[in-house]
């Protein structure tokens, strides 16, 4: 957790807490976002992502703590003075204005002369490739187009921070991929500091410089996509970011013992006691022939073809381990009932104190 401010820090949350009535939704949250970076709030539904974003925008008042932008305390600044560009999950376009006037709105509120506002709105719409639809009403646009208008409307005011609340969740898969690339490109071109709320790990990992993994109103881990994926701070993060196998075991003087009695090696250091052992399915080799830190015998029980991947269910001493391999041309050489030797390295063996979820 950041305690001292980085020199290029732009946004800082200090001890932010939120209670709705008696429910303590966010106990205490600290966060530091650098200038020009895009940070993802990633977590399951209901963990407080939207609430935190709304607090930054001023739409919700924190019960405790303070918000700083560029070293200035804005905790008590009214919404309209905060200079934030917000993209809502439902887009929230003004239904009574055409696209151009939607984009001009923020400029009008800043008393930009009409001519210039019109010109800048046109430029912003070109930027999201919607120049030709400037005179349509929002209801005459598709979801993806509305999304881009919302983005142009938020960016045209050149806000101090861009806030995006699950902006892609209402789009179909293909459009989502396109918009992911486009939003990231726009954010990097303008060098704007951005906070991106999502429950989709692919979005968080692929678009953002750093990821805040949230759970139940607190931060589980704050790091780069690689850190979060390769070195998850908790079992929850490992489970939430990417798929993983989970075995029960114990850490003893001799090493790690699984429930089924196999001895494993891990690069992680922990005090002795009951542990959960986590291994990513695609880090396990199915037919280990050479040397490996961890080697266990098992029997293939299921084979599932899922396009790019083939998923094998392998039963090992009563527990099921999932192994994923890239699909190869031709039929899989394995069949259910075959014996296999699974192998994986100590670095890929993550251990956490048992019971942590």
Partner 1 sequence: MSAAPALPRAWRDGQLAVLLLLPIALINAIGFILPVLNLARYSFNRSRIGGGIEQVFTWENWVGLLSDPFYLELVLNSVWISLAITLTTLVVSYPIALYLHRASGSWRTFLTVLVISPLLTSAVVRTYGWIAILTDDGPVVSAIKALGLPAPSLMFNIKGVFIGLTEILMPYMILALMAGFGRLDPRVEEAARTLGATPARTFRKVILPLTLPGIALGCLLCFVLAVSSFITPKLMGGGRVFLLATEIYDQAIVTLNWPLASTLSILVLIVFGAALWAYSAVLRRLD
Ligand X SMILES: Nc1ncnc2c1ncn2[C@@H]1O[C@H](COP(=O)(O)OP(=O)(O)O)[C@@H](O)[C@H]1O
Give residues in contact with ligand X (CB under 6 A): 20, 25, 43, 45-51
For residues 48 and 225, which CB has a smaller minimum distance to ligand X in the complex? Answer: 48
Q: Does 201 bind Mg ion (CB under 5 A)?
A: no
25, interface contact from partner 1, ligand X, Mg ion, none, CB < 5-8 Å by kind: ligand X
Q: Which stretch binds Mg ion (CB under 5 A): 42-50, 227-235, 241-249, 302-310?
A: 42-50
> Residues binding Mg ion: what is the number (CB under 5 A)?
1
Is there a contact between 162 and 155 (Cβ–Cβ < 8 Å)? yes
Cα distances (Å, whole numbers) of residue 264 to 38, 82, 249, 289: 38, 54, 10, 17
Contact pick of 16, 32, 50, 351 for Mg ion (by CB under 5 A): 50
**Closest residue by Cα to residue 1 from 58, 291, 12:** 12
46, interface contact from Mg ion, ligand X, partner 1, none, CB < 5-8 Å by kind: ligand X
Q: Using CB under 8 A as the criterion, which residues of the chain lie in contact with partner 1 when the complex forms?
A: 57-59, 78-86, 88, 90, 92-96, 105-106, 109-110, 153-154, 157, 163
- Distance separating alpha carbons of residues 141 and 21, to the nearest angstrom: 39
Find the residue with minimal CB distance to Mg ion.
50
Find the residue with minimal CB distance to ligand X.
50
For residues 112 and 256, which CB has a smaller minimum distance to partner 1 in the complex? Answer: 112
- Distance separating alpha carbons of residues 56 and 187, to the nearest angstrom: 18
List the Cα angle 173/178/184 in 5-degree steps: 125
3-state secondary structure (DSSP) of residue 109: helix
70, interface contact from ligand X, Mg ion, partner 1, none, CB < 5-8 Å by kind: none
For residues 96 and 329, which CB has a smaller minimum distance to partner 1 in the complex? Answer: 96
Q: Which stretch binds Mg ion (CB under 5 A): 49-57, 76-84, 221-229, 325-333?
A: 49-57
Q: CA torsion sign, 156 to 56 to 3 to 72? A: positive
Q: Please, how many CA atoms are within 13 Å of residue 164, restricted to the half-sphere of its CB?
A: 32
Name the strand (E) or helix (H) holding 274: strand 273-279
47, interface contact from partner 1, Mg ion, ligand X, none, CB < 5-8 Å by kind: ligand X
For residues 165 and 324, which CB has a smaller minimum distance to Mg ion in the complex? Answer: 165
Give Dmax (Cα) for the chain. Answer: 76
Phi, psi of 21 (to 5 degrees): 60, -125
For residues 51 and 145, which CB has a smaller minimum distance to ligand X in the complex? Answer: 51
List the Cα angle 230/231/237 in 5-degree steps: 95
Which residues here bind Mg ion, judged by CB under 5 A?
Answer: 50
């Amino acid at each position: 957790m950041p305690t001292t401010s980085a020199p290029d820090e732009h946004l800082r949350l200090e001890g932010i807490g939120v209670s709705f009535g008696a429910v303590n939704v966010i106990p205490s949250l600290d966060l530091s976002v650098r200038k020009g970076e895009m940070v993802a709030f990633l977590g399951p539904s209901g963990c407080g992502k939207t609430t935190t974003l709304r607090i930054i925008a001023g739409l919700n008042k924190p019960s405790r703590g303070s918000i700083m932008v560029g070293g200035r305390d804005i905790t008590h600044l009214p919404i309209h003075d905060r200079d934030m560009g917000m993209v809502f999950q439902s887009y929230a376009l003004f239904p009574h204005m055409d696209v151009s006037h939607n984009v001009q709105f923020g400029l009008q509120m800043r008393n930009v002369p009409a001519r210039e506002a019109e010109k800048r709105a046109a430029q912003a719409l070109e930027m999201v490739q919607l120049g030709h639809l400037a005179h349509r009403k929002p209801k005459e646009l598709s979801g993806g187009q509305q999304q881009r208008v919302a983005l142009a409307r938020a960016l045209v005011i050149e806000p101090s921070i861009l806030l995006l609340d699950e902006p892609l969740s209402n789009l179909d898969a293909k459009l989502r991929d396109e918009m992911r690339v486009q939003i990231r490109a726009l954010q990097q071109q303008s060098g704007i500091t951005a906070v991106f709320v999502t429950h989709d790990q692919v979005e968080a990992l692929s678009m953002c410089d750093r990821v805040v993994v949230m759970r139940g109103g607190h931060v589980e881990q704050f790091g780069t996509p690689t850190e979060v994926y390769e070195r998850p701070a908790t079992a929850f993060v490992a489970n939430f970011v990417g798929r993983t196998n989970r075995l029960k075991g114990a850490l003893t003087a001799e090493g790690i013992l699984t429930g089924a009695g196999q001895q494993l090696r891990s690069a992680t250091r922990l005090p002795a006691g009951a542990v959960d052992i986590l291994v990513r399915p695609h880090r396990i080799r199915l037919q280990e022939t050479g040397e490996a830190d961890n080697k266990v015998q098992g029997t293939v029980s299921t084979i599932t073809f899922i396009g790019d991947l083939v998923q094998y269910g392998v039963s090992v001493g009563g527990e099921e381990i999932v192994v994923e391999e890239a699909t190869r041309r031709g039929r899989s050489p394995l069949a259910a009932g075959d014996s296999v030797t699974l192998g994986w390295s100590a670095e890929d063996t993550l251990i956490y104190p048992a019971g942590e979820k």
